[in-house]
Structure 1
């Protein structure tokens, strides 16, 4: 059973609205259609695909495990980062600077591609990959 492409990843952020603003306003994802689920959240789209799901507080129910109220938001477990293909590195640099987002940048040896690394409001690493122009 081979796997297909990654469909989405889900974050249970400490501050739902702040995290939505980061992914939409800073990274340029679009808030889009989401089924009428019984808990708050957002589906954020990239290239027409609901790539990032933000999940608000859920109520425990049969078959649903809900984390306790003593969440450790500073701990993202073993997740290190998520990577996106990106374009227009100069515009992204300007957008990050304008939003006061700290980031680091590097050039990939051999390919010459540019990578930008940053963290979302909950400390999840985000990698942006720009092909060499």
Structure 2
């Protein structure tokens, strides 16, 4: 087997409208067309997609509540972590700076899905 590229990550969300606000308005991802046979939304990040799939309940599967980076998360490169931090705080989202010392932070979407924003 030879994997040639990553295609998408699917995230479960219990409130699609709140999730769309986070991924579309706060993170600024571009929404794209998707099949309409189930509730959800798709977002494009370069040649990669984030698929939001509506679930009936919020799932909390964190194993480390103190260090967010030690849990399942999706990571994005950003041009300026401080600008990302300011944007998240302006919109009232919790965040945690990376414990590794890297210029990176972790935040969570309205369903608790963790997102890393790392300066490149």
Q: Tell me whether 1:130 sits opposite 2:119 in the alignment.
A: yes
The CA RMSD measured in Å over matched residues stands at: 2.3
> How many angstroms apart in 2 are the aligned matches of 1:72 and 1:33?
25
- What are structure 1's unaligned runs of at least 5 residues? 58-70
TM-score by length of 2: 0.78
TM-score for both structures, normalised by structure 1: 0.72
Higher relative contact order (CA 8 A, sep 6+): 2
- Aligned mates of 2:2, 2:33 — CA distance in 1: 28
- Matched with 1:73 is 58
More helix by share: 2
Q: SS of the residue aligned with 2:19?
A: helix
Q: 1:80 to 1:107 in 2, by over 3 A?
A: closer
CA shift at 1:108, angstroms? 4.3
Question: In proportion to residue count, which structure has more strand?
Answer: 2
Alpha-carbon distance in 2 for matches of 1:81, 1:32: 22
Q: Deviation per CA, 1:47-70, whole angstroms, max 9, x where unpaired?
A: 2x352111236xxxxxxxxxxxxx
Distance, in Å, in 2 between the alignment partners of 1:116 and 1:10 is 21
User: Displacement, 1:128?
Assistant: 0.9
Q: Deviations over 1:5-24 (max 9, x none)?
A: 32111123110111111111
**What does residue 38 of structure 1 align with?**
37
Deviations 1:59-100 (A, max 9, x none): xxxxxxxxxxxx552334886211111112232122111101
Report the structure number with the largest CA radius of gyration: 1
Aligned to 2:106, the other structure's residue is in SS state strand
Q: What is the alpha-carbon distance in structure 2 between the residues aligned to residue 24 and residue 18 of structure 1?
A: 10
